[in-house]
Amino acid sequence: MATYQNSKELRNLTLGKSTEYCSEYNPNLLQAVPRSLNRDDLSLKGNDLPFIGEDVWYGYELSWLNNKGKPVVAVAEFRFACASPNLVESKSFKLYLNSFNQSKFSSINEVEQILIKDLSATAQTQAEVKLFTVEQCPALAISPVAPDTICIDGEDVTIETYQYQAEPLSQAQANSATDKVTEKLVSHLLKSNCLITNQPDWASIYINYKGKAIDHAVLLKYLISFRQHNEFHEQCVERIFCDLQQYCQLEELTVFARYTRRGGLDINPFRSTHLPRAPLMRTLRQ
């Protein structure tokens, strides 16, 4: 499990190390992590992926100076295709955004274009960036859960392990009828730990599927087994997607995790068999 944890690609990251904050624009602060590290562990090779989707980030602490030295603040939306060769390492992302604090830029459009250029170079694919004022940002609106979404957290389950286990999913459809169902599920109990620092990562996870019915109690126990598991946000979601497909053989599947923010950033990986774009939504905890 997670054989990539001590890989050479991770050794030079600033993550987990003492660092000085830079307040002058510096794109060299950005660091990339090859997505292949995790995907090799999941037996996913190249671009032959069982899912499509993207990683959607929101930045709540972006600020710079205008040409007269007056501070400007904005909320940022960043989107990275899940097929990009690299993900952007989150601590380096925070350090990079902080480097805008005392730098002067002529307009919000200039900042947006600089972000697109730098982040695209790091991810090695075209990144999407939108900047909003604090008063006019759709991403800040808390979205109600769809009325047909079922929260599975009320299942009366006994938990005996908090270490990742996928095998119990083999029983997730043991009592299912042959008829196919379409369900929208959510659990707010997903917790994993950062691969490097062991800091907790908290999320609400939305699972929409079409296929034989999944036992909600089995699914909840599986999700709780990530509680002491060490992996990056994006990698946890891909693992959950692949496990559900392997054990449940679903016709359609979408997995969308809404993680709480840390250091002014939240990361929201979205993986689907058929939907390329994550919906615009924000949970109460974000």
CA–CA separation, 73 vs 216, rounded Å? 43
Select which of 82, 194, 236, 248 is catalytic: 194
Select which of 118, 201, 243, 266 is catalytic: 201
Amino acid symbol at 56: V
Instruction: Write the DSSP string, 126-155.
Output: --EEEEEBTTB-GGGSPPPPPTTEEE-TT-
Provide the token pair at 76. Answer: 């940022």
Is 41 assigned a catalytic role? no
CA–CA separation, 185 vs 206, rounded Å? 6
CA distances from 40 to 3, 77, 155, 162 (A): 9, 29, 34, 24
Q: Which phi-psi region, left, alpha or beta, contains residue 242 (left: φ > 0; alpha: ψ -120 to 50)? A: alpha
Strand order of the β-sheet with 128-132 is 128-132, 71-81, 52-65, 265-272, 252-259, 200-212, 180-193, 149-151
Provide the token pair at 56. Answer: 């959607």
Provide the token pair at 89. Answer: 């390492």
Phi then psi for residue 30, to 5 deg, are: -70, 140
Closest Cα partner for 58 from 90, 24, 31, 87? 90
Helix (H) or strand (E) holding 8: helix 8-11
Is 194 assigned a catalytic role? yes
Catalytic residues: 194, 201
